[in-house]
Amino acid sequence: MRPSARYATLYGYPDLAASLGCDPAALLHRVGLDPDDLDASDTWIPAVVVTRLLELSAADSGREDFGLLLAQRRRLSTVGPLSVVLREEPDLRCVLELLIRYEHSYNEAARLRLTEGDGVARLTVALELGEPAPVRQAAELGVAAVLGIIRLMRDPRWQPLAVCFEHRAPLDLGSHRRLLGPRLRFEHDFTGLVFATRELDAPNVLAHPDDPLLRTYARGLLSSLPQPPGSALVDRVGLIVEALLPMRRCSMSRVARGLGVSKRTLHRQLDARHDSFAAIVDRTRAGLAERHLAGDRFSLTEISELLGFAAPSAFSRWFRRAFGMSPTAWRAACRAGTGAVPPETADAAGTEGPDGAGEGWS
């Protein structure tokens, strides 16, 4: 099933596209969307359609900053009923934890993750679409939107230690510096924000600490939202798996030790949640593979290593089973900007690809 996003993700799109000389209705029709449906903000559409629309709009307008400009038109209400709850959370940590836990309530393809260490917090922003598509504009929209929420809760002038993107820098950094700040990092190993851990305990300026019942009432709205599909345990296992994969030390025994339980206990706990260690490893690898193949920073051989495979051929076989095409074809489709596999790429499976990978990649 294709992950979906709320139509509200495109809030402000027609006005922005028109202001940049585009025909928003024509662009919407090109990706199969009806312009009249934009008013139905709670309607869900395939997330990959949104990413393709943003890329088409950036190309048509000649603006590499299209995703950023769209983020500036967003409102907190873009995330739906969750926005009411976020307003009354006491601090930034609680705000981000809810955004992460209920990401499925506003964008099923979104993957936000918060990690901490050595006094630094890292909030990663990724998309898992399940099919090849360019994600540059959507990634910049996502990062700018999260940064906007943090600034709303903290201070409009708030600046992170770094704003990071896996893709290459645009030719003109003017909008990026103006909207995101001066601490930009491109061709980085993740997309997201870096800031001091102490910021997580900063109070939410929108909350009403003098009326704690407001938070109680706001939290009551969470029962009206679809409950998170995963669990705290599954999320923790996924984070440890992601850390161990590049070291090729990803075993159930090591993960269990990281959680402070026995392998038998971990197996029993996952089984009770109708999940398994192997399934979590596969899901984690799939998400990382999508993210890395959409960018240019890592070669296919390097991606194979980052995902913990002993050889590129093993990665290739696994990828074909998981996604129905070779890693080379997937990356070519992303680079083509359409998500469709170029015929010459499909025909050339087994030959050397753009990263210098040999026939093992087919």
Q: HSE on the CB side for 303, CA within 13 Å? A: 27
pLDDT at residue 337, rounded to an integer: 63
Asked whether the predicted pLDDT for residue 250 surpasses 80, the reply is yes
Among 34-43, 227-236, 284-293, 319-328, the range scoring the smallest mean pLDDT is 227-236
pLDDT digits (tens, 9 = 90+) for 35-50: 988 888 889 999 999 9
pLDDT average, residue stretch 208-214: 87
pLDDT bucket at 12, cuts 50 / 70 / 90: very high
Q: Which residues pair with 4 in a beta bridge?
A: 46
43 near 119, Cβ under 8 Å? no
- Reported as type and span, the H/E element at residue 162 is strand 162-164
Asked whether the predicted pLDDT for residue 341 surpasses 60, the reply is no
Asked whether the predicted pLDDT for residue 346 surpasses 60, the reply is no
Q: What's 232-361's CATH class? A: mainly alpha
pLDDT at residue 67, rounded to an integer: 98
Q: How far is CA 36 from the centre of its chain?
A: 27
pLDDT average, residue stretch 140-150: 97
pLDDT digits (tens, 9 = 90+) for 310-334: 999 999 999 999 999 999 999 999 9
Percentage of the chain surpassing pLDDT 70? 92
Three-class secondary structure of residue 312 per DSSP? helix
Asked whether the predicted pLDDT for residue 344 surpasses 50, the reply is no
pLDDT at residue 14, rounded to an integer: 96
Query: Which phi and psi angles does 157 have, rounded to 5°?
Result: -95, 5
Query: Which phi and psi angles does 59 have, rounded to 5°?
Result: -70, -45
Share of the chain residues as helix, strand and coil, in percent rounded to the nearest 5 = 55, 10, 35
Asked whether the predicted pLDDT for residue 354 surpasses 70, the reply is no
pLDDT bucket at 296, cuts 50 / 70 / 90: confident
Among 204-208, 271-275, 342-346, the range scoring the smallest mean pLDDT is 342-346
Percentage of the chain surpassing pLDDT 90? 77
pLDDT at residue 286, rounded to an integer: 95
163 near 181, Cβ under 8 Å? yes
Among 138-152, 196-210, 230-244, 269-283, the range scoring the smallest mean pLDDT is 230-244
Which ranges in the chain are annotated with CATH 1.10.10.60? 232-361
pLDDT digits (tens, 9 = 90+) for 75-128: 999 999 999 999 999 999 999 999 999 999 999 999 999 999 999 999 999 999
Please give the Cα distance from 240 to 255 (Å, whole number).
6
Mean of pLDDT over the chain: 89
Sorted by sequence, the CB contacts under 8 Å of residue 250 that are 6+ apart come out as 241, 244, 281, 308
Among 29-38, 121-130, 221-230, 342-351, the range scoring the smallest mean pLDDT is 342-351
pLDDT digits (tens, 9 = 90+) for 65-77: 999 999 999 999 9
pLDDT at residue 351, rounded to an integer: 32
3-state secondary structure 39-91: HCCCCEEEHHHHHHHHHHHHHHHCCCCHHHHHHCCCCHHHHCCHHHHHHCCCE
